[in-house]
A = this chain, B = another copy of it.
Amino acid sequence: MAMSDTLKAISDPVRRQILELLRSQSYAAGEIASHFELKPATVSYHLKLLKQAGLITERKDKNFIYYDLTASVFEEVLSWIYSLKLGGDHDEQK
């Protein structure tokens, strides 16, 4: 999970709204989709990117797929931003 993917993931407004939605509780894909004026397929695409970036996880129940936020991944991003802010050493990322 390169941080490049994480930053790319949070650079889109729709995906950020999804993350903010999941902040309070988990939702099934369809429930998430209903919060947007987008087709389910499109939301599914965004969920895939968020999943690939490690920002959310999925959990299947009946024929629903629930999504949850993964708090831990934000550490990396925080770390990178801090390094710029404070000027310390930090690894490059691709």
**A→B interface (CB under 8 Å):** 4, 7-8, 10-11, 13, 16-17, 19-20, 23-24, 69, 71, 74-75, 77-78, 81-85, 87, 90, 92-94
B16, B23, B82, B87: the one contacting A93 at CB < 8 Å is B16
Enumerate chain B residues within 8 angstroms of A82, measured Cβ to Cβ: 78
Which of B8, B13, B84 is in CB contact (< 8 Å) with A94?
Answer: B13
Q: Which of B11, B75, B84 sits near A20, CB closer than 8 Å?
A: B84
With A13-B94, A16-B93, A94-B13 in contact, do A84 and B23 touch (Cβ < 8 Å)?
Answer: yes
* Contact, CB under 8 Å: B7 / A11: yes
Residues in B neighbouring A87, C-beta threshold 8 A:
23-24
